[in-house]
Amino acid sequence: MQLTPRQEKLLKLTFLDYTQMSAFIETPLIINKAEGLYYWDADGKRYLDAIGGIFVAILGHRHPRVMEAMRRQMEQITFTPPMHGISDVTLDFIEKLGAVTPGTLDYIKPFSGGSESIESALKYVRQYFKQTGHPGKYKFVSLYMGYHGATFGAMAASGSGKRKSKFEPQMGGFIKVFSPQHYRNHFSDWASANRFAAQMVEDIIVAEDPETVAGLIIEPISNTGGIVTPTSEYFEHLRAICDRHRVILVFDEVITGFARTGAMFAAQTFGVTPDIICAGKGLSGGAMPLGAMMARADMGEAFLGPVEAEVQFAHGHTYAGNPLASAAGLAVIAEIQEKHLDQKAQSLGTYLSQKLEGLKKFGVVREVRGKGMLRGVELVKDTRSMEPFHKLGLALKKTALKNGLILRINPDWFAVAPALIAEEKDIDEICGLIEKSLVEALREVQA
């Protein structure tokens, strides 16, 4: 699209997340309208949104049911004071969310996004151990290349080097391990790499002294690591390790939550119940900033007591759980349940994966990964050396945008995660555009 001098001037005055504005100005995207699977830029050009905003618009943009719920809520109340009031709609939201969580994870604190819910879980776990007889437990184990948010605690739990090194020193008490994917070249099969990676988690907890380790925090499928998709057995091992050493297992389901992987939560997809789930993104379908921390009932009970005991959770945010966001969240969960979008994500996700597998004919795809409607394609220079193909991903960014397709491109891999309202014909269109853009990008890098 063509920028006006005013737009260019204003773009230089602002900051897109993790983005160099001078590069953005070269290939800008100013979006003024969105509906369903589509965006329209300021010039009126249409884009097919193959990643649901950024794993957010789970029901597509401006879903009528969510819009209507918010409109009705706006007639009643849009803000309640967070220290001395709550509205019925927020209680309804807490009830609805608690009813769809696995296990007993129905103690819920709503937030305004993913980082807030992660930040909160870190504090919650530390406070929990302080008031239940294990005051020395404070460390968190998490994955290199994981991403849990931009705030200081969430950043310390995250493992992507260059995003963090600019702000060092990081907070103390955060230990990193590698994901199974890191070890895959050392093993002849994927299951063995997973078992080894799980064993490393236990070895590190033991080496640190389990009485100092409070939590293990992990995305069931890590986006930033490249849609890293471990085996169910890996999570079974992590669950057993956490139980053995009294470590709280926290699933960061900011991306994987709300039917994306074929079940309401990836915890259910992988058949493992964590002690805490953190959610964000898809929870409001992109209509309002919304997140939530959901904790195991017996943990929640440790925060109830007489005022003098001072065991209440010492944490909060002004906009967290506001009535308007709660109304949006209620509508999203109801729509997922009524339309069985979890089942749809399974079947349509299989279809999407098969279509993406077809890209292997170009000889530059190592692997198609993911579950349900969250898929990733790893780009390599050739399938013998398996060397990452950075330049191809960078070229694909430009050709996809030119062809009116929005993907998340790393650039060594790209993610495809359309809204769950998509149908097979939409998947065909997305995959057709991916193929066209990939062919053009290949031509560009080979020239």
Residue ranges that bind ligand PLP, judged by CB under 6 A: 113-115, 118, 147-149, 219, 223, 252, 254-255, 280
Give min distance, CB of 303 to ligand PLP, in A: 23
- Helices 323-338 and 88-100, packing angle to 10 deg: 40
Q: 282 and 260 in contact (C-beta within 8 Å)? A: yes
Output 5 or 161, the one with its CB closest to ligand PLP.
Answer: 161
Shortest CB 252 distance to ligand PLP, Å: 5
Identity of the residue, 254 or 341, whose beta carbon is nearer to ligand PLP in the bound complex:
254
- Least separation in angstroms between CB 118 and ligand PLP: 6
> Counting Cβ atoms within 10 Å, is residue 338 exposed (0-12), middle (13-18) or buried (19+)?
exposed
What is the smallest separation between the CB atom of 310 and ligand PLP, expressed in angstroms?
Answer: 29
Q: In angstroms, what is the minimal distance from the CB of 44 to ligand PLP?
A: 29
Residue 388 Cα distances to 12, 13, 224, 382, angstroms:
32, 34, 15, 9
118 or 249: CB nearest ligand PLP: 118
Shortest Cβ 337–ligand PLP spacing (Å) = 23
CB neighbour list of residue 236: distance below 8 Å, 6 or more residues apart:
271, 272
The least CB distance from residue 326 to ligand PLP, in Å, is 17
386 vs 378: CA distance, rounded Å: 10
**Closest CB to ligand PLP among residues 202, 219:** 219
Pick the closer one to ligand PLP by CB: 120 or 223: 223
Distance CA 245, CA 232 (A): 20
Whichever of 113 and 388 has its CB closer to ligand PLP, that residue is 113
Shortest Cβ 156–ligand PLP spacing (Å): 13
> To 5 degrees, how large is the angle CA 164–CA 196–CA 240?
90
Closest separation in Å from C-beta 66 to ligand PLP? 18
Residue whose CB is nearest to ligand PLP in the complex, by number: 114
Q: 117 or 268: whose CB is closer to ligand PLP? A: 117
Nearer to ligand PLP among residue 202 and residue 253 (C-beta): 253
Nearer Cβ to ligand PLP (143/380): 143
